[in-house]
Amino acid sequence: DQQVKQNSPSLSVQEGRISILNCDYTNSMFDYFLWYKKYPAEGPTFLISISSIKDKNEDGRFTVFLNKSAKHLSLHIVPSQPGDSAVYFCAARREIGNQFYFGTGTSLTVIP
Protein backbone atom coordinates (compact mmCIF):
# COMPACT_ATOMS: atom_id res chain seq x y z
CA ASP A 1 0.00 0.00 0.00
CA GLN A 2 1.93 3.00 -1.33
CA GLN A 3 0.75 5.98 0.70
CA VAL A 4 3.22 8.38 -0.90
CA LYS A 5 3.49 8.34 -4.67
CA GLN A 6 5.84 9.89 -7.16
CA ASN A 7 4.31 9.10 -10.50
CA SER A 8 7.14 10.41 -12.65
CA PRO A 9 10.14 8.12 -12.45
CA SER A 10 12.30 10.55 -14.40
CA LEU A 11 12.51 14.17 -15.47
CA SER A 12 14.91 16.05 -17.76
CA VAL A 13 15.32 19.81 -17.62
CA GLN A 14 17.60 22.29 -19.31
CA GLU A 15 20.11 24.09 -17.11
CA GLY A 16 18.74 27.41 -15.88
CA ARG A 17 15.12 26.35 -16.24
CA ILE A 18 12.70 25.36 -13.50
CA SER A 19 12.47 21.75 -12.30
CA ILE A 20 9.14 20.71 -10.81
CA LEU A 21 8.94 17.40 -8.99
CA ASN A 22 5.57 16.15 -7.85
CA CYS A 23 4.35 13.95 -5.06
CA ASP A 24 0.90 12.73 -4.02
CA TYR A 25 -0.19 11.17 -0.77
CA THR A 26 -3.28 9.41 0.45
CA ASN A 27 -3.22 9.66 4.24
CA SER A 28 -4.78 12.80 5.69
CA MET A 29 -3.02 12.09 9.01
CA PHE A 30 0.36 13.13 7.60
CA ASP A 31 1.51 16.32 9.28
CA TYR A 32 5.03 16.88 7.99
CA PHE A 33 6.54 16.47 4.55
CA LEU A 34 10.14 16.25 3.41
CA TRP A 35 12.21 16.08 0.27
CA TYR A 36 15.46 14.16 0.05
CA LYS A 37 18.09 14.14 -2.64
CA LYS A 38 20.13 11.04 -3.39
CA TYR A 39 23.25 10.59 -5.44
CA PRO A 40 24.31 7.10 -6.58
CA ALA A 41 26.11 5.06 -3.94
CA GLU A 42 25.25 7.59 -1.22
CA GLY A 43 22.53 7.89 1.40
CA PRO A 44 19.62 10.30 0.92
CA THR A 45 20.34 13.84 2.03
CA PHE A 46 17.66 15.98 3.63
CA LEU A 47 16.80 18.91 1.38
CA ILE A 48 13.74 20.81 2.56
CA SER A 49 10.58 20.22 4.54
CA ILE A 50 7.17 21.70 5.20
CA SER A 51 4.70 21.42 8.02
CA SER A 52 1.06 20.74 7.25
CA ILE A 53 0.12 24.13 8.72
CA LYS A 54 1.95 25.88 5.88
CA ASP A 55 1.48 25.87 2.13
CA LYS A 56 4.92 27.04 1.07
CA ASN A 57 8.48 26.87 2.31
CA GLU A 58 11.44 28.37 0.52
CA ASP A 59 15.16 27.79 0.93
CA GLY A 60 17.38 29.38 -1.68
CA ARG A 61 16.71 27.79 -5.05
CA PHE A 62 14.35 25.22 -3.52
CA THR A 63 10.68 25.79 -2.76
CA VAL A 64 8.20 23.22 -1.56
CA PHE A 65 4.47 23.75 -2.05
CA LEU A 66 1.78 21.86 -0.18
CA ASN A 67 -1.84 21.57 -1.31
CA LYS A 68 -3.60 19.72 1.48
CA SER A 69 -7.00 19.61 -0.18
CA ALA A 70 -5.45 17.86 -3.18
CA LYS A 71 -3.03 15.86 -1.02
CA HIS A 72 -0.25 17.02 -3.27
CA LEU A 73 3.16 18.55 -2.78
CA SER A 74 5.76 19.71 -5.21
CA LEU A 75 9.40 20.73 -5.18
CA HIS A 76 10.51 23.60 -7.39
CA ILE A 77 14.16 24.12 -8.20
CA VAL A 78 14.98 27.44 -9.83
CA PRO A 79 17.32 27.81 -11.59
CA SER A 80 18.24 24.18 -12.17
CA GLN A 81 21.92 23.32 -12.20
CA PRO A 82 23.75 20.21 -13.47
CA GLY A 83 24.72 19.41 -9.88
CA ASP A 84 21.03 19.00 -9.08
CA SER A 85 20.98 15.82 -11.14
CA ALA A 86 20.02 13.13 -8.63
CA VAL A 87 17.10 11.03 -7.46
CA TYR A 88 14.61 12.98 -5.36
CA PHE A 89 12.42 11.28 -2.79
CA CYS A 90 9.45 12.84 -1.09
CA ALA A 91 8.46 11.61 2.33
CA ALA A 92 5.59 12.14 4.72
CA ARG A 93 5.42 11.72 8.45
CA ARG A 94 2.47 10.56 10.46
CA GLU A 95 2.81 12.14 13.88
CA ILE A 96 0.97 9.35 15.65
CA GLY A 97 3.55 6.58 15.68
CA ASN A 98 6.25 8.86 14.25
CA GLN A 99 6.41 6.83 11.06
CA PHE A 100 7.84 8.09 7.78
CA TYR A 101 6.63 7.01 4.36
CA PHE A 102 8.72 7.47 1.24
CA GLY A 103 7.85 7.76 -2.41
CA THR A 104 9.65 5.70 -5.05
CA GLY A 105 11.74 8.61 -6.26
CA THR A 106 12.10 10.78 -9.36
CA SER A 107 15.39 10.83 -11.21
CA LEU A 108 16.17 14.40 -12.27
CA THR A 109 18.65 15.11 -15.05
CA VAL A 110 19.69 18.69 -15.63
CA ILE A 111 21.15 19.08 -19.08
CA PRO A 112 23.98 21.62 -19.41
Query: Which residues of the shown chain bind other proteins in the complex (CB under 8 A)?
Result: 6, 32, 34, 36, 41-46, 49, 51, 89, 91, 93, 95, 97-105
- For the chain, what's the residue count? 112
Indicate the residue among 46 and 58 with the shorter CB distance to other proteins. 46
Indicate the residue among 65 and 102 with the shorter CB distance to other proteins. 102
Three-state DSSP state, 3:
coil
In 10 A of CB 91, how many CB atoms? 20
CB of 79 to other proteins, least distance (A): 26
Name, in order, each residue with C-beta under 8 angstroms of 96's C-beta and a sequence gap of 6 or more: 29
Indicate the residue among 77 and 91 with the shorter CB distance to other proteins. 91
